[in-house]
Amino acid sequence: MHIHKRTFGDWALDIFVYGFMIVLGLVTLLPMIHVFSKSVSSDWALVSGRVDLLPVGFQLDTLATVVTSYAFGRAFLISAIVTSVGTLLSILVTAITAYPLSKRHLPGISFIMVLFVFTMLFNGGLIPNYLLIRELHLINNLWSLILPAMISVFNMLVIKSYYEGLPEALEESARIDGARSYTILFRIILPLSMPVLATIALFYAVGFWNDYFSPMLYISDPALKTLQLHLRDVVMENDTANAINRSADDLMNMSPESIRAATVVASTVPILLVYPFLQKYFIKGVLIGSVKG
């Protein structure tokens, strides 16, 4: 390292850079801190508008009421089921489909590839999709949230390019021994592709968990509402007691604002808990996807 004298310009740049990042970080955190403080502040402090950044009159009753409410628990469970079943099936089908498509020398594969990629550029649109789901009698059926989302062409391309980077020799020796392609796929290719499969599984999981559009279109039965639909009911409706299925008496000391804040917090916590994994794997996925795909 050569010695570099810090000039006035260096100092000015550093002050700007650090200042900018601190402001950016604060702007990102502020809405979350504010809502969190509201969810754990006492109702009188909330109603009199005294909660800005820090909790006033700390209490956990509202959060406890929200989390233990029947509607929240049911919605949480339904989202968990859709996310786990959906992710499992999606990753399976996507990983299987990507394998033949990585064999570009086989006749017809490039044509089938075009069929897949074309759907990234053009789609039928909202109404034809809705009419199809209705024809299939999947309205108010949780499969309507899973089946249409099961194959994401983008994710498939990422996995395909990973397969293409694996050494050819591994497969060939298995083929000489007479192994069929599904044996090769499940015994050799998939175990070697665990890093990319984990990343794509998380892509799918976050997609299923956060999906609001499909449940809004296809689910109207209250018993099948996902967490995002439930959250929207609480956030948009004035009658929060009704939205969380509690009688007004139970909620004597809880204003709609505090219930709203507590529901938002309770729905954010699961994401924050898995965020360290998400951050690590997602960045990898974004970078693989940008190199090829």
For residues 171-200, which are near other proteins according to CB under 8 A? 180-182, 185
- Shortest Å distance, C-beta 60 to other proteins: 18
Burial of residue 217, with CB atoms counted within 10 A of its CB: 0-12 exposed, 13-18 middle, 19 or more buried? middle
Nearer to other proteins, 123 or 140 (CB): 123
Interactions with other proteins, residue window 114-173 (CB under 8 A): 115-117, 119, 121-132, 147-148, 150-151, 156
Helices and strands in the chain: count of H runs, count of E runs? 16, 0
- Shortest Å distance, C-beta 151 to other proteins: 5
| Contact by Cβ (8 Å): 154, 292 | no
- Shortest Å distance, C-beta 16 to other proteins: 8
Measured CA to CA, the distance from residue 117 to residue 4 in angstroms comes to 52
Burial of residue 62, with CB atoms counted within 10 A of its CB: 0-12 exposed, 13-18 middle, 19 or more buried? buried
Whole-angstrom CA distances from 36 to 58, 69, 102, 261 are: 11, 19, 48, 7
Interactions with other proteins, residue window 63-102 (CB under 8 A): 93-94, 96-97, 99-101
- Count interface residues toward other proteins (CB under 8 A): 97
Q: Which two tokens stand for residue 126?
A: 């909202």
- Shortest Å distance, C-beta 252 to other proteins: 19
Give me the amino acid identity at 248. A
Nearer to other proteins, 133 or 241 (CB): 133
| Contact by Cβ (8 Å): 261, 39 | yes
Measured CA to CA, the distance from residue 276 to residue 264 in angstroms comes to 20
Nearer to other proteins, 65 or 102 (CB): 102
Interactions with other proteins, residue window 11-70 (CB under 8 A): 13-14, 16-18, 20-21, 24-25, 27-32, 34-35, 38, 46-47, 49, 51-53
Interactions with other proteins, residue window 209-228 (CB under 8 A): 209-213, 216-217, 228
Nearer to other proteins, 29 or 248 (CB): 29
Residue 257 is a binding residue for other proteins (CB under 8 A) = yes
Nearer to other proteins, 127 or 249 (CB): 127
Q: What 3-state DSSP class applies to 243?
A: helix
Q: What 3-state DSSP class applies to 122?
A: coil
Indicate the DSSP class of residue 141: -
Contacts of 76 (CB under 8 A, 6+ apart): 227
Q: How many residues does the chain have?
A: 293
Q: Which of 83, 99, 68 has the alpha carbon at shortest distance from 182?
A: 99
Q: Which stretch binds other proteins (CB under 8 A): 56-64, 65-73, 238-246, 253-261?
A: 253-261
Phi, psi dihedrals of residue 11, rounded to the nearest 5°? -60, -45
Nearer to other proteins, 42 or 228 (CB): 228
Q: Tell me which of 56, 85, 174, 278 binds other proteins, using CB under 8 A.
A: 278
Q: Tell me which of 223, 248, 273, 283 binds other proteins, using CB under 8 A.
A: 283
Nearer to other proteins, 14 or 250 (CB): 14
Nearer to other proteins, 65 or 285 (CB): 285
